[in-house]
């Protein structure tokens, strides 16, 4: 999965790295994106639709003020991906009747329990109705879950799902949430689909939630469409998101039914159900937490113009160095980010690029242990100061020396970059932005 | 069950054929000068009846057919193999045009045969040891318990007795599920309470089988995510304590590209001896079988093909390859 993240990062950095963004660049990015999405089990039609949207917007839309064309392309791709996944966090308001359905072994019964827990947390009084009389001990499984959560459950003694729903609804008339578990089925199987249809008619659910495992392949779209025809899907729950699978099938299901993802299951315990957050889902699917950060930075990275001017003119203090480190730490893992920044990865000395996150933390402690004067004029730091700083920061003297060395190297690079670039307003800001991104 | 993959593969063969030799060029140009007729026409004829494909051309072709294969749930690694083979067999080779389609079909057939060809296990020989211990492992909801019940039924048809070990002590009602199967199949279930150490449960089942002279112990385990270190360690302990004769990975054939991760990580953790692919009756894509067979190169014992006990088919790679192309 990390591979995908790397690939998409490469793709985007390609776009950012070229001097001009032309049709060919965008096409090559789209091609790469297609492959990544298809590898994540996203429906082929959906992938093409997305490609077309990206293509359209890249070429036709006016570039937003303050963004370069490259950034515009990045933004379009990111936004379209998030759009595809629904814009907002989607939980579920207390609805009276909720029915769960899906293929075999997708996690319906477990999810029923998780939903009960979710509603309990929100102050509702849920009840369960068991309608799976096919799989051995399925009702027993639900009964054990109900017992654990201390909620009432209705099981039909004669193993008739229709009676179960009818009587269960009567019995739980006073409960504000009723969750109905159904048997796993192949939506194309006539007998089972007829049963589901009939259950749906009796239950008249407010929400019909399709349960889809994250690792499901391209069977997803077709099955979802069939289920939708049978009972009408109002939402999707993606289970088993704690494995390595990326959940692309869920997308296909949403696409096939027009329903949104409501929850994701992230573990085997009953509280491991999360309200769905599209941004995190994209990140997860494409392994591009970095891209999210990048987008944020594109917005935020307007480094103060004065700061930028000062830095570019060579007045780069340890304090600036510190700010940059703090910035990186806020952004999360370093890996991947560096490559995103055109020109910068090659301009910086190798070992600076490869600074480990653990080391960065150390640097931070060291700088914290310095006096204000030392931060502004690192030149004054001599060996006795180094000894003191190392003690204060709880690191070795070697670490302090290394920090000073890294600072020196960075300063040199900045001087070089700042020196060769003509200090025009726009360009300076751009450089600063790059700098803000990288460092 | 392979309808979709079959359709896609045949589309792919056609696409490759068409791309390699575009149809519109089929008219024979008339030679202009009589005297040069001999050599000239021979050349022309050769140019239009024999085809020489460049590597770039293959890459171009592949960009298109890759999507067809992905649509059929063939994992990317498996696709790369097909690509590799195709390249080897058609790049730089002169192929008669009339035989092109046949040639490409043959290349595909050969590739599929190779991919589907996995080492075989002589199950009956394995079963000579008394008692034999099979441990079933896999992702949540892949169908371990159902598969176990089906295999019990299969063993009974071979006049072999078996006992179930309720090694899934985590999921609610997993023990009851196994007991219901046991009741229907008349197979005893060795169990502890929920939360018990699965390694110990299985150990007891083996002891029981030894004492009662039962032929086979079929041990269930809880479904687990291959990324969960603690659960994988638990699996490792089960294996260390009980030394199973076969560790059988149960894989849902509807799984998409993740099938490769799942196979690999279970194999890395405890070593997988054989596979069973379930739910092949629901999945019409079929690509997952290709991926699993190719990536893991482990014996595939059975395919699960339905809800009842008899819906278990022995894996026959030749038959599948024949069906596909």
Question: ipTM of the assembly?
Answer: 0.79
Q: Are residues B164 and B253 in the same domain?
A: yes
Query: How close is the nearest chain B Cα to the Cα of A72, in Å?
Result: 27
Picking from B65, B88, B116, the residue at the C-terminal end of a domain is B116
Compute the radius of gyration of chain A from its Cα atoms: 28
| CATH code, B275 | 3.40.50.300
A82 touches chain B (CB under 8 A): no
Q: B202 and B319 share a domain? A: yes
Q: What pLDDT was estimated at residue B32?
A: 45
The last residue of one of the domains, among B88, B116, B144, is B116
Q: How far apart are CA A146 and CA A117, in angstroms?
A: 10
A273-275 and B132-137 as β-strands: parallel, antiparallel, unpaired?
unpaired
Q: Is residue A111's pLDDT more than 90?
A: yes
Same domain, B149 and B88: no
Of A142, A217, A268, the CB nearest to B254: A217
Cβ of B70 within 8 Å of Cβ of A186? The answer is: no
Percent of the residues in chain A that have a pLDDT greater than 90, as a whole number: 29
Intervals of chain B under pLDDT 70: 1, 21-50, 283-285
Give the distance between the most distant pair of CA atoms in chain A. 87
Q: Which residues pair with B136 in a beta bridge?
A: B248
Q: What is the pLDDT of residue A280?
A: 67
What is the predicted pLDDT for the residue at A161? 95
B172 vs A contacts (CB less than 8 Å): 109-110, 113, 140-142, 144-145, 148
CA atoms within 13 A on the CB side of A420: 7
- Using a 10 angstrom Cβ sphere, with 0-12 exposed, 13-18 middle and 19 or more buried, the burial of residue A183 is buried
Average pLDDT over every residue of A93-117: 91
Q: What is the pLDDT of residue A106?
A: 93
Indicate whether A303 pLDDT > 70: no
The DSSP 8-state label assigned to residue A223 in this structure reads: H
Do B256 and B133 sit in the same domain of this protein? yes
Evaluate whether A280 touches A261 at the Cβ level (below 8 Å). no
Predicted pLDDT of residue B34: 45
Res A166 pLDDT > 90? yes
Asked whether B109 and B145 are in contact (CB, 8 A), the reply is: no
Average predicted confidence (pLDDT) for chain A:
76
Q: Span A331-358, mean pLDDT?
A: 42
Same domain, B199 and B308: yes
Contacts of A223 in chain B (CB under 8 A): 282
Which residues of B are less than 8 Å from A31 in CB distance? 63
Which residues in chain B have Cβ-Cβ distances shorter than 8 Å to A245?
255-258, 261
| Residue A220 scores a pLDDT above 60 | yes
Question: Residue B278 phi/psi, 5° resolution?
Answer: -105, 170
Q: Using CA atoms, how far apart are residues B38 and B32, in angstroms rounded to an integer?
A: 12
B142: nearest CB among A105, A219, A248:
A105
Regarding whether B261 and B179 lie in a shared domain, the answer is yes
In this structure, the answer to whether residues B197 and B307 fall within a common structural domain is: yes
Q: Domains plus CATH for chain A?
A: 2-87 (1.20.120.140), 97-276 (3.40.50.300), 301-438 (1.10.260.30)
Q: What is the DSSP string of A35-94?
A: HHHHHTT--HHHHHHHHHHHHHHHHHSPPPTT--HHHHHHHHHHHHHHHHT-SS-B----
Number of domains in chain B: 2
Q: Are residues B172 and B285 in the same domain?
A: yes
β pairing state of A260-265 and A273-275: antiparallel
| Structural domain boundaries, residue B74 | 3-116
**pLDDT > 60? residue A45:** yes
Listed in order, strand segments (DSSP E) in A184-341 are 207-213, 235-239, 260-265, 273-275
Predicted confidence at residue A417, as pLDDT, reads 54
- Looking at the structure, tell me whether residues B129 and B17 fall in a common domain: no
A352 has pLDDT over 50 = no
Residues B14 and B69 in one domain: yes
Contacts with B, A 138-167, CB within 8 Å? 138, 140-145, 148
What average pLDDT does range A368-376 have in this prediction?
A: 87
Let me know how many helices (H) and strands (E) chain B has, helices first: 13, 10
Q: Can you tell me the distance from the alpha carbon of A113 to that of A120, in angstroms, rounded to the nearest whole number?
A: 11
- Give yes or no for residue A159 having a pLDDT over 80: yes
- Answer yes or no: do B94 and B200 share one domain: no
pLDDT above 70 for A377: yes
Residues B63, B143 within the same domain? no
Which residue, chain included where needed, has tokens 């492992």?
B137
Measured CA to CA, the distance from residue A220 to residue B283 in angstroms comes to: 9
Enumerate residues 6+ apart whose C-beta is below 8 A from B40: B31, B33
Q: Given A145, A240, A248, which is nearest B256 (Cβ)?
A: A248
Q: Which of B84, B116, B148 is the last residue of a domain?
A: B116
CATH of the domain at B15: 1.20.120.140
Q: Would you state the pLDDT for residue A67?
A: 65
Q: Tell whether the model's pLDDT for residue A124 goes beyond 80.
A: yes
Condensed to tens digits (0 to 9), the pLDDT of residues A241-280 reads 887 777 888 878 887 888 888 898 988 889 888 888 777 6
């Amino acid at each position: 999965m990390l591979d995908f993240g790397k690939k998409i990062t490469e793709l985007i950095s390609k776009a950012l790295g070229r001097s001009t963004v032309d049709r060919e660049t965008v096409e090559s990015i789209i091609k790469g994106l297609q492959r990544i999405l298809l590898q994540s089990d996203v429906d082929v039609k959906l992938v093409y639709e997305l490609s077309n949207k990206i293509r359209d917007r890249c070429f036709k839309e006016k570039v937003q003020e303050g963004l370069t064309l490259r950034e515009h392309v990045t933004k379009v791709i990111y936004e379209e991906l998030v759009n595809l996944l629904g814009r907002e966090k989607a939980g579920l308001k207390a609805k009276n009747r909720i029915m769960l359905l899906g293929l075999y072994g997708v996690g319906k019964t477990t999810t029923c329990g998780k939903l009960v827990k979710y509603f309990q947390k929100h102050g509702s009084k849920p009840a369960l109705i068991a309608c799976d009389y096919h799989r051995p001990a399925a009702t027993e499984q639900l009964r054990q879950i109900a017992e654990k959560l201390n909620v009432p459950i209705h099981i039909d003694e004669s193993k008739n799902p229709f009676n179960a729903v009818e009587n269960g609804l009567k019995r739980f008339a006073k409960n504000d949430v009723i969750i109905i578990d159904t048997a796993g089925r192949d939506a194309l199987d006539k007998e089972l689909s007829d049963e589901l249809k009939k259950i749906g008619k009796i239950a008249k659910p407010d929400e019909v939630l399709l349960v889809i495992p994250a690792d499901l392949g391209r069977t997803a779209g077709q099955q979802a469409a069939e289920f939708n025809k049978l009972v009408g899907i109002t939402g999707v729950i993606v289970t088993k998101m704690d494995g390595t699978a990326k959940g692309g099938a869920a997308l296909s299901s949403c696409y096939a039914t027009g329903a949104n993802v409501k929850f994701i299951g992230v573990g085997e315990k009953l509280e491991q159900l999360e309200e769905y957050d599209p941004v995190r889902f994209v990140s997860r699917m494409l392994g591009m937490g970095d891209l999210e950060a990048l987008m944020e930075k594109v917005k935020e990275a307007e480094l103060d113009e004065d700061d930028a001017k000062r830095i570019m003119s060579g007045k780069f203090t340890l304090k600036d160095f510190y700010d940059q480190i703090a910035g990186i730490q806020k952004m999360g893992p370093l890996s991947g980010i560096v490559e995103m920044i055109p020109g910068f990865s090659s301009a910086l000395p190798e070992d600076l690029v490869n600074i480990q996150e653990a080391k960065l933390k150390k640097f931070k402690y060291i700088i914290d242990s310095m006096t204000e004067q030392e931060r502004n004029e690192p030149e004054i730091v001599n060996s006795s100061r180094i000894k003191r700083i190392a003690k204060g920061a709880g690191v070795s003297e070697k670490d302090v020396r290394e920090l000073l060395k890294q600072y020196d190297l960075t300063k040199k690079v900045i001087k070089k970059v700042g020196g060769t670039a003509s200090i025009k307003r726009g360009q300076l800001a751009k450089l600063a932005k790059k700098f803000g991104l990288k460092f | 069950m392979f309808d979709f993959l079959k359709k896609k593969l045949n589309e792919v063969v056609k696409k490759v054929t068409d791309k390699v030799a575009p149809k519109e060029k089929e008219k024979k140009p008339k030679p202009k000068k009589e005297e040069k007729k001999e050599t000239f026409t021979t050349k022309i004829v050769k140019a239009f009846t024999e085809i020489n494909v460049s590597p770039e051309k293959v890459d171009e072709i592949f960009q298109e057919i890759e999507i067809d294969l992905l649509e059929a749930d063939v994992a990317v690694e498996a696709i790369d193999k097909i690509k590799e083979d195709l390249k080897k067999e058609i790049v730089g080779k002169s192929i008669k045009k009339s035989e092109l389609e046949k040639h490409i079909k043959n290349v595909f057939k050969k590739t599929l045969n190779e991919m589907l060809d996995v080492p075989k296990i002589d199950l009956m020989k394995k079963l000579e040891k008394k008692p034999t211990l099979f441990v079933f492992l896999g992702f949540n909801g892949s169908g371990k318990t159902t598969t176990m019940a089906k295999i019990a039924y299969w063993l009974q048809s071979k006049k072999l007795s078996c006992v179930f070990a309720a090694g899934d002590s985590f999921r609610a009602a997993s023990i009851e599920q196994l007991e219901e199967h046991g009741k229907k199949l008349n197979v005893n279930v060795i169990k502890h309470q929920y939360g018990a150490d699965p390694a110990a449960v299985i150990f007891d089942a083996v002891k029981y089988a030894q004492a009662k002279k039962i032929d086979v112990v079929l041990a269930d385990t809880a479904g687990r995510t291959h990324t969960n270190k603690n659960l994988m360690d638990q699996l490792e302990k089960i294996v260390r304590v009980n030394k199973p004769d076969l560790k059988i990975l149960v894989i849902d054939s509807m799984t998409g590209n993740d099938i490769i991760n799942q196979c690999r990580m279970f194999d890395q953790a405890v070593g997988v001896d054989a596979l069973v692919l379930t739910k092949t009756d629901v999945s019409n894509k079929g690509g997952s079988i290709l991926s699993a067979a190719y990536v893991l190169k482990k014996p595939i014992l059975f395919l699960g093909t339905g809800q009842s006990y008899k819906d278990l088919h022995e894996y026959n790679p030749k038959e599948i390859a024949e069906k596909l192309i």
